[in-house]
Copies of this chain bind each other. A is one copy, B any other.
Amino acid sequence: MGWQRPDGRQPQELRSHRFQRHFTQFALGSVLAQAGQTQVLCTVSLKEGVPKFLEGTGQGWLTAEYRMLPSATRPRQEREFLKLSGRTQEIQRLIGRSLRSALDLSLLGERTLIVDADVLQADAGTRSLAITGGYIALVDALSALLQQGVLSESPLCHQVAAVSVGLIDGEPYLDLSYAEDVAASVDFNVVMTANGQFIEVQGTAEMGSFDRPTLDRLLDVASQGIQELIEIQQHVLAASHE
């Protein structure tokens, strides 16, 4: 018998997920994503132009900003102001890379999509929820751009979702809450596409180390969790308006 999850979930069970589309009105896409107590507001905006290294290539770009509201955690955390922590930068780079892999950037023209992932409440798993929810906001944003005639063809080419999985007492547990995250000796964040391909694998031993068979089991659990999230995304996007 293994470790008991605080909320009674099975080891390979996701938290309850909810995605409120069109949560705000001024961005092209706006989704309030919730996974248990974790809440991330994902919005997508467009600006003309691309970073220096893409100028003149005709290709577009997607970049992400990730930030926590100070009251997202208990106790309250100071806003990052004069510099971003390494953690924040790693996360926003990961979100950007992951959502770029959903797009054929050559169909975007020299424009930049900006994904803002603002964490309203943090109970672990914010980076993977930002990717999974950000994907939905991205789909809404691209629909708007097609409708507005800014784009004539959708650059969307892959559906992506992400999940965390951790090792507690030698066993893999899916979609950790904060209390579980603290107990885990190994943390994995995995990003995959709807057709089962990997985009990103990040695994870290916080304590000790892990062998190859353990790595394999962690990836199995992550893969299965992501496929469930892929279905949830499809279900949410099938609704005409939320």
Q: Do most interface residues of chain A lie in helix, strand or loop, or is the interface mixed?
A: mixed
Q: Are B75 and A45 in contact, CB atoms less than 8 angstroms apart?
A: yes
CB proximity to B under 8 Å, residues A113-167: 114, 116, 118, 120-122, 158
Task: Tell me if A203 is interfacial: C-beta within 8 Å of chain B.
Answer: yes
Q: How far is the CB of A67 from chain B (nearest CB, A)?
A: 7
Residues from chain B with a CB closer than 8 A to the CB of A97 are 204
Q: Are B200 and A205 in contact, CB atoms less than 8 angstroms apart?
A: yes
Extra pairs beyond A47-B76, A65-B70 (10, CB < 8 Å): A26-B71, A27-B74, A69-B116, A69-B118, A70-B116, A81-B82, A86-B93, A198-B205, A198-B211, A200-B205
CB proximity to B under 8 Å, residues A144-197: 158, 192-193, 196-197
Which of A4-12, A36-44, A49-57 binds B?
A36-44
Task: Tell me if A241 is interfacial: C-beta within 8 Å of chain B.
Answer: no
Q: Are A82 and B82 in contact, CB atoms less than 8 angstroms apart?
A: yes
With both beta carbons as reference points, the residue of chain B lying nearest to A43 in the complex is identified as B71
Q: Are A27 and B76 in contact, CB atoms less than 8 angstroms apart?
A: yes
Q: Are B210 and A198 in contact, CB atoms less than 8 angstroms apart?
A: yes
Q: Are A211 and B196 in contact, CB atoms less than 8 angstroms apart?
A: yes
Q: How far is the CB of A90 from chain B (nearest CB, A)?
A: 5
Task: Tell me if A79 is interfacial: C-beta within 8 Å of chain B.
Answer: yes
16 contacts between A and B (CB under 8 A): A24-B121, A26-B72, A27-B76, A45-B71, A69-B118, A76-B114, A83-B84, A86-B92, A87-B93, A101-B209, A198-B205, A200-B205, A201-B203, A201-B215, A202-B202, A202-B203
Say yes or no: A69-B47 contact (C-beta < 8 A), given A82-B82, A212-B198: no
Using a CB–CB distance below 8 Å, which chain A residues touch chain B?
A: 24-27, 30, 37, 39, 41, 43, 45, 47, 65, 67, 69-76, 79, 81-87, 89-90, 92-93, 97, 101, 114, 116, 118, 120-122, 158, 192-193, 196-205, 208-212, 215, 219, 223
Q: How far is the CB of A130 from chain B (nearest CB, A)?
A: 14
Complexed CA–CA distance, A51 and B11 (Å): 34
With both beta carbons as reference points, the residue of chain B lying nearest to A83 in the complex is identified as B83
